[in-house]
């Protein structure tokens, strides 16, 4: 559902995307309360509620990148630690609701909980990027604006998928999703088959949520250090959890070790969701960020969709639950390799956008700044050094005299030149 969320964000904004997601989740979960056939449940639970979940996650990720493009890792780590908290309380909460109100009542209450996403969405004030996007098309008709935005989104998609580094990153996310989906689906049954109780197995999953909270916060703080590379963290975390996955039988000897494995699983896998935001922003830049996050979450969806059936087929063919974890470990290692490959190709430069030529002139001892907008040109900033030249000129004439040599010299950005005894400095951004 990532691409759909990206279109909604590019056409409207993150607030609209998240509020819509809350309504869809409420409708999907609540409608599941009245379902009596599994085929109808695929529509209400998988399609409607699943679409709402995808919109909520994409909108929440993108708004963080829009507001915090510099410290996105730290902010993302702190904000999405709530997901780990949800993993921690969800199993016991769902078990309590099911035992108390039944399956249908649990669906209805879950729909009411999901509706609170709308409140969070209303608090997402549109960022400067979203406001400027609306200002550019504010005078056009609604239908024409939507079509223009959709066409622009198609161009964004082409630019995103032409980036080799990002393609490697998307492939790594598919492998990661296959691995993590297999882990959480087969881990409780694996421990139960080895003699663990149902409550203990559920507690192992809850403990992974606690590890995920710790992981997301620590990774966020680690990313605030410029000496630590995001791609290095991404590959290292998945490589470590791959090793622990292969060693899973060693953790099956006691309840303490089972719970410890659950904590380790969350500790080394939860940080990937923080790095997803940061790496997408580093590879693509802010202009294609929304489209990139949508593509990344779509890749995760592909892995979650295909991983469990593949693992189930392997378990059925081999007759051993451990074979599913061999697949999971192999996928974690593949994530590590593809994560390193995504760093081999240099990040493509952001596409040229409207440029702003800023000129600061000292006129009558007053600094006057003039901005000139140029389309698809390098951004230039020219500053007039104080001189007596401006004293004999009017404000408009002085500005024109400064602009003309600056525009002529913009191709040789970085070189100083002089004209009429005045020196301007051109800096290419």
Q: Kindly give, in sequence order, each residue whose CB lies less than 8 Å from that of residue 118, ignoring residues fewer than 6 positions away.
A: 18, 19, 22, 23
pLDDT digits (tens, 9 = 90+) for 200-241: 888 888 888 888 888 888 888 888 887 888 888 999 999 999
Contacts of 266 (CB under 8 A, 6+ apart): 84, 87, 207, 208, 209, 210, 211, 212, 213, 214, 215
Higher-confidence position of 70 and 210: 210
Q: What's the pLDDT score for residue 353?
A: 44
> Are the C-beta atoms of residues 179 and 307 closer than 8 Å to each other?
yes
Cα–Cα distance measured from residue 206 to residue 212, given in angstroms and rounded to the nearest whole number: 10
Residue 426 DSSP label: E
pTM of the model: 0.69
pLDDT at 23: 92
Q: Is 225 exposed, middle or buried (0-12, 13-18, 19+ CB in 10 A)?
A: exposed
> What per-residue confidence (pLDDT) applies to 425?
42
pLDDT (average), residues 155-181: 88
Percent helix / strand / coil, the chain, rounded to 5: 75, 10, 20
Tell me the per-residue pLDDT of 319-352, one tens digit each, with 9 for 90 and over: 888 999 999 999 999 999 998 888 876 444 444 4
pLDDT for residue 148: 60
Strand partners, 419: 422
Express each pLDDT in 248-289 by its tens digit: 999 988 889 999 999 999 999 888 888 888 898 888 888 788
Scanning 247-373, the segments in alpha helix (DSSP H) are 255-269, 271-284, 289-318, 322-341
Mean pLDDT across 400-424: 47
């Amino acid at each position: 559902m990532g691409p759909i969320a990206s279109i909604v964000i590019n056409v409207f904004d993150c607030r609209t995307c998240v509020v819509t997601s809350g309504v869809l989740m409420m409708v999907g979960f609540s409608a599941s309360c009245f379902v009596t056939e599994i085929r109808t449940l695929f529509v209400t639970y998988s399609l409607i509620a699943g679409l709402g979940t995808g919109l909520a996650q994409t909108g929440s990720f993108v708004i963080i990148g829009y507001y915090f493009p510099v410290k996105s890792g730290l902010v993302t780590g702190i904000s999405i630690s709530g997901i780990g908290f949800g993993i921690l309380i969800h199993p016991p909460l769902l078990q309590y609701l099911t035992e108390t109100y039944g399956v249908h009542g649990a669906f209805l209450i879950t729909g009411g909980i999901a509706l609170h996403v709308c409140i969070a969405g209303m608090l997402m004030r549109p960022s400067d990027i979203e406001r400027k996007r609306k200002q550019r098309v504010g005078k056009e008709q609604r239908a024409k604006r939507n079509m223009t935005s959709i066409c622009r989104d198609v161009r964004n998609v082409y630019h995103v998928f032409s980036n080799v580094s990002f393609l490697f990153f998307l492939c790594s996310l598919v492998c990661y999703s296959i691995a993590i989906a297999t882990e959480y689906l087969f881990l409780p049954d694996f421990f139960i088959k080895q003699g663990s109780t149902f409550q203990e197995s559920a507690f192992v999953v809850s403990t992974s949520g606690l590890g995920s909270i710790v992981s997301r916060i620590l990774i966020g703080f680690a990313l605030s250090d410029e000496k630590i590379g995001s791609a290095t963290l991404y590959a290292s975390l998945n490589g470590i959890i791959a090793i622990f996955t292969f060693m899973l039988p060693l953790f099956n000897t006691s309840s303490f070790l089972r719970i410890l494995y659950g904590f380790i699983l969350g500790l080394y896998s939860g940080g990937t969701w923080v790095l997803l935001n940061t790496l997408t922003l580093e590879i693509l830049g802010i202009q294609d960020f929304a489209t990139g996050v949508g593509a990344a979450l779509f890749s995760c969806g592909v892995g979650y969709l295909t991983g469990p059936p593949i693992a189930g087929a392997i378990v059925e063919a081999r007759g051993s639950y451990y074979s599913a974890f061999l697949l999971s470990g192999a996928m974690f290692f593949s994530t590590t390799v593809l994560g390193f490959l995504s760093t081999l190709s240099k990040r493509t430069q952001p596409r040229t956008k409207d440029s702003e030529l800023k000129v600061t002139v000292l006129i009558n001892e007053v600094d006057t700044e003039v901005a000139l907008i140029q389309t698809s040109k390098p951004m230039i900033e020219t500053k007039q050094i104080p001189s007596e030249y401006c004293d004999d000129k009017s404000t408009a004439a002085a500005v024109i005299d400064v602009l003309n040599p600056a525009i002529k010299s913009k191709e040789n950005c970085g070189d100083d030149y002089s004209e009429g005894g005045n020196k301007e400095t051109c800096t290419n951004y």
